[in-house]
Amino acid sequence: MEERKLSQSWGWIDCRWMLIKGTKRREFRVSHRLYSAKELSDLLKDCGFKKVRAFGNLDGADYDHNAKRLVVVAEKS
C-alpha cells in the first residue's frame, strides 16, 4: 500500500509504503522535495546553464496541465 501526503506549502511530499506478506509487514518512509518548472529553471540558470527548457515527458511533449512528468533540459556553455 502507498500513502502520500503533501506539505501545506506544496514544497514536500511525504510517502509511506507498506509491504504486507502473510503476517509480515514492512514499512518505508521517504520525503521528496517538489520543485516547479520555474524553480528548477531559475536554479539551473543561476548555476550557469543556458537554453533551459521544460517538457511534459521524455518524448518532448509540452509541459502543461496534461503533463505526466516534469523533464527539464539545459545546456552548460
Model confidence pLDDT, tens digit, residues 6-51: 988 888 999 999 999 999 999 999 999 999 999 999 999 999 999 9
pLDDT for 31? 94
* DSSP state at residue 59: T
The three-state secondary structure class of 38 is: helix
Residues 6+ apart with CB under 8 A from 5: 13, 14, 16
Clarify whether residues 22 and 59 are in a common domain.
no
Clarify whether residues 16 and 49 are in a common domain.
no
pLDDT for 23? 95
Clarify whether residues 45 and 76 are in a common domain.
yes
pTM of the model: 0.66
- Parent domain of 58: 36-77
Clarify whether residues 12 and 43 are in a common domain.
no
The residue type at 13: I
| Domains identified in the chain, total number | 2
Clarify whether residues 26 and 51 are in a common domain.
no
